[in-house]
Structure 1
């Protein structure tokens, strides 16, 4: 990236065009991809090819990685290694997360 992008507020992220259950691209730079998901899929996701971080922006729910389930809410940071089965469960109507994929595909 040749220049620093402007900040993206939660309100601006919520206004991004999106497909229900899917995340929207915020920006990509090299092997870093920043996305935003309002009401992500409730249940298992297809395991991804890269490591990822989630930052819970709003709402509450449960985050499952393999067999471990953890209650999550605003401000929580979640990690998922590439290829690990994971997903969100019992999410509130206002649940949203920032999603960062990084590194090479594994």
Structure 2
């Protein structure tokens, strides 16, 4: 059985301390196959644009509102938020301590709906 090259654990403190990737507003923490794990903690405003792959956010800290297309939902620590590839989305009216794990996965253009 091959030995995994990705870390088994990434502590929240380590994610917060990770340097931003040049030209990005987030830190890349690991990649494995199509999975890319990042950490995102915008200050004051979220200026992200739609991404080419599906993504899941898991809120690490803070509260606010999440806009996905025409939907707007509240979020808090521990909440998971899904965005399909190409969909306009952003965090709004979030607290100063807001930070989230971000997982990009699958092919560019997104995966097909499973109907589940």
- Which structure has more relative contact order (CA 8 Å, sep 6+)? It is 1
**2:64–2:92 contact (8 Å) kept in structure 1:** yes
Q: Specify the alignment match of 2:105 in structure 1.
A: 102
Pairwise CA distance, 1:17: 0.8
Output the TM-score relative to the length of structure 1. 0.90
Q: Specify the alignment match of 1:64 in structure 2.
A: 67
SS at the partner of 2:13?
Answer: helix
**2:83–2:89 contact (8 Å) kept in structure 1:** yes
Moved >6 Å (runs of 4+): none
**1:40–1:88 contact (8 Å) kept in structure 2:** no
Pairwise CA distance, 1:39: 2.4
Give the CA RMSD over aligned residues.
2.1
Which of 26, 47, 52 does residue 49 from structure 1 map onto?
A: 52
Pairwise CA distance, 1:5: 1.1
Q: Larger strand proportion, structure 1 or 2?
A: 1
Q: Structure 2: which 5+ residue stretches go unaligned?
A: 110-116
**2:44–2:96 contact (8 Å) kept in structure 1:** no
Q: d(CA) in 2 for partners of 1:43 and 1:75?
A: 19
**2:42–2:99 contact (8 Å) kept in structure 1:** yes
SS at the partner of 1:100?
Answer: strand
The number of residue pairs the alignment matches comes to 106
Instruction: Specify the structure having the higher radius of gyration (Cα).
Output: 2
Q: Specify the alignment match of 2:113 in structure 1.
A: none
Pairwise CA distance, 1:42: 2.4
SS at the partner of 1:83?
Answer: coil
SS at the partner of 2:15?
Answer: helix
